[in-house]
Structure 1
Amino acid sequence: MVVMKDLSSHTTPLFVSAVRLLPAGLLLVAWAARSGRAQPSSPMAWMSIAVFGLIDGTGFQGFLAEGLQRTSAGLGSVIIDSQPLTVAVLAALLFGEELAAGGYVGMGLGVAGLCLLEVPLDLLFHAPEIAAGLLTDGPQAVSAAASSTGRSWSIWDSGEWWMLLAAQSMAVGTVLVPWVSRYSDAVMATGWHMVLGGIPLLALSVMQEADTLLPRLADFNGWDAVSLVYISVLGSAASYGVFFYNASRGNLTALSSLTFLTPMFAALTGYIFLGETLTPLQLAGATVTLGAVALINSNGKRKQAS
């Protein structure tokens, strides 16, 4: 997510989202075909993939790109990675998946661990004062902003709102996988959903961002290219393929809980390769997160309702 935010400032948000999906999708389709996996053939297969692509591809990546321009990568990650809560609700309603008491505790601990890992200390320790300030000073601040810009504030100016939409899109995409997999191979469907989801993003980028994008591409450098390859090949092709393949075969709630680990691995990678420091609170957050995932995947599940 940090790489996406940095790339967006060197290119444009929707362009980054499109490039994250399109090459990765084509690469995954090519790999799946080479592995002998069947191409989608029936109208129902293509329709299900198109719906999957619109929600999880266009929706998730588009909302994510817009949200990153309006909020920090850390806070955005907390909102995105809390999507297992939505998956748990949808999986229970649609597929009869149930959590035991330990699973519900694990979900709560997972969100708590995310907050300890990624939310700035000032925000954590002064949350009541900040909330009170928003309640008392928020209307005046919004009014002042409206006067200075000549327009009123709306919820679409909120990065947190865009991130929440992205999280819900990802959650819905996850629970769509068993349905999509009835009509086509899960890995092949994942690749095609990235291609179909990336096309609208590319079209929107051309229509809305061309004036900004073209001058920035003139300054495109080697590090930017490496970053694009990274978010496309590793951040999309590999991770999407593995995640959705497993989503077609296992417990959706337990699988989605693994996304709680994403910020922990990001922090660990930064510590090992970039020399970044981890505070005691972040180490505590990592420990809580590991415990939460273990709790959900060990004794937090019940059998699916018949």
Structure 2
Amino acid sequence: MQSSGDNVFNRQLTRQSPLIIAPFFLWGTAMVVMKFLLPQTSPMFMAAVRLIPAGILLIVGGIYLGRQQPRGWQAWLWISLFALVDGAMFQGFLAQGLVRTDAGLGSLLIDSQPLAVAVMAAVLYQERVGGAGVLGLLIGILGIGLIGLPAELMAALLAGDFATVLHAGIFTTGEWLMLGASLSMAVGTILIRPVVRYADSVMATGWHMVIGGLPLLLISNQFEQNQWQFLGLWGWVGMMYVAIMGSAIAYGLFFFFASSGSLTTLSALTFSTPVFALMFSSLFLGENLTLVQWVGVILTLSSIYLVSVRGIDSDISQSMSETQEMLEVAGETVGLDHN
């Protein structure tokens, strides 16, 4: 049986582990691969392939590790809701949005979801967002804005010239689909807390992928054509990377951290996803960064630092509180022994 001190140490290790950045690295590179694959396949089929094999891998891995299968109607109800929102809706909106938007703007809109997570986490879970956290979130929004928006539109936004922005047609069908993906991911991040009350986090993540991928596969079967006929060897390699690295491993790590750490801190790290996406799209797709985009990268990394500092301060305060409680309990125990 672990002591309270061990629990505190494990919680600190979980929240401050370097692996916490891995899901966002994998998602960023997966976005590049998905954009590359779209001319060779159909969006809903790609979304289904990203979810279902990854979910099966997580379930099989969970069984191998001795994880408990979900039990009871409450567990399956929460997993099904989780699957609908974070599986079918998020991946469906994302895949369809990628067809109609460029990678930079798509990443910008999807990665605006930490704002919704911060608000919902504060209301539902009483998570505190301090001054550094708020500043970090605002800087992050500005940073990914510089990364994803054209310079003239960014200048119009900063000047408050919304007529120019609306006239440019920034919020077309593709952008609204990306906003739908962003909101779906935010709600899914919030849902993981009640999900893990009734089911193991690894098994719940795996089952939500399988259940969420089935409607996408059905839609693809009914409305899409030539889903795999034009996929070559590298196309299937890309599909495997998106499914295994960009889903099974990335989602497993993300929801493990989400179930045990600060939702606002974790979701704010999503700002790094477009940074990784742009870096690798520059390397493999020939998309070069402008000076304005590099400024956005610097601001984004600065926002991650600010939010991380907020998280460290919060964790230190919580650890001090837990240590104080342990000392009080020890004092009461000594007093009982003396009596």
TM-score by length of 2: 0.77
Asked if the contact 2:32/2:281 (under 8 Å) is kept, the reply is no
Which amino acid in the other structure matches residue 46 of structure 2? V
Give the one of 189, 208, 223 matched to 2:204: 189
Backbone CA RMSD of aligned residues: 2.4
Asked if the contact 2:47/2:216 (under 8 Å) is kept, the reply is yes
Query: Where does residue 99 of structure 2 map in the other structure?
Result: 69
Query: Where does residue 141 of structure 1 map in the other structure?
Result: none
Which amino acid in the other structure matches residue 284 of structure 1? V
Shift of 1:6: 3.1
Give the one of 74, 77, 82 matched to 1:52: 82
Which amino acid in the other structure matches residue 199 of structure 1? L
Query: Where does residue 192 of structure 2 map in the other structure?
Result: 177
| Cα distance between partner residues in 2 of 1:130 and 1:50 | 43
Query: What's the secondary structure of 2:104's corresponding residue?
Result: helix
Query: Where does residue 327 of structure 2 map in the other structure?
Result: none
Shift of 1:69: 2.0
Query: What's the secondary structure of 1:99's corresponding residue?
Result: coil
Q: Which runs of 5+ in 1 are unaligned?
A: 139-154
Query: Where does residue 41 of structure 1 map in the other structure?
Result: 71
Q: Percent identity?
A: 48
Call closer, same or farther: CA 1:266–1:254 in 2, change over 3 Å. Answer: same
Q: Counterparts of 1:279-298 in structure 2 under 5 Å?
A: 279-298=290-309
Query: What's the secondary structure of 1:181's corresponding residue?
Result: helix
Larger Rg: 2
Give the one of 3, 26, 31 matched to 2:61: 31
Query: Where does residue 46 of structure 2 map in the other structure?
Result: 16
| Cα distance between partner residues in 2 of 1:283 and 1:40 | 45
Shift of 1:74: 1.1
Q: Counterparts of 1:197-276 in structure 2 under 5 Å?
A: 197-209=212-224, 212-213=225-226, 217-270=228-281
| Deviations, residues 254-302 of structure 1 (Å, cap 9, x unaligned) | 0111110111122334456677644332332222111111111213675
| Deviations, residues 82-132 of structure 1 (Å, cap 9, x unaligned) | 100000010011100110111111111111111222323343345569853
Which amino acid in the other structure matches residue 109 of structure 1? I
| Cα distance between partner residues in 1 of 2:135 and 2:264 | 13
Aligned length: 283
Which amino acid in the other structure matches residue 42 of structure 2? T
| Cα distance between partner residues in 1 of 2:109 and 2:270 | 11
Query: What's the secondary structure of 1:213's corresponding residue?
Result: coil
| Deviations, residues 193-232 of structure 1 (Å, cap 9, x unaligned) | 00000001001110111xx225xx3322111101101111
More off after superposition, 119-128 vs 231-240:
119-128
| Cα distance between partner residues in 2 of 1:11 and 1:245 | 31
| Cα distance between partner residues in 2 of 1:178 and 1:136 | 41
Query: Where does residue 96 of structure 1 map in the other structure?
Result: 126
Call closer, same or farther: CA 1:36–1:7 in 2, change over 3 Å. Answer: same
Which amino acid in the other structure matches residue 244 of structure 2? V
Which amino acid in the other structure matches residue 259 of structure 2? S
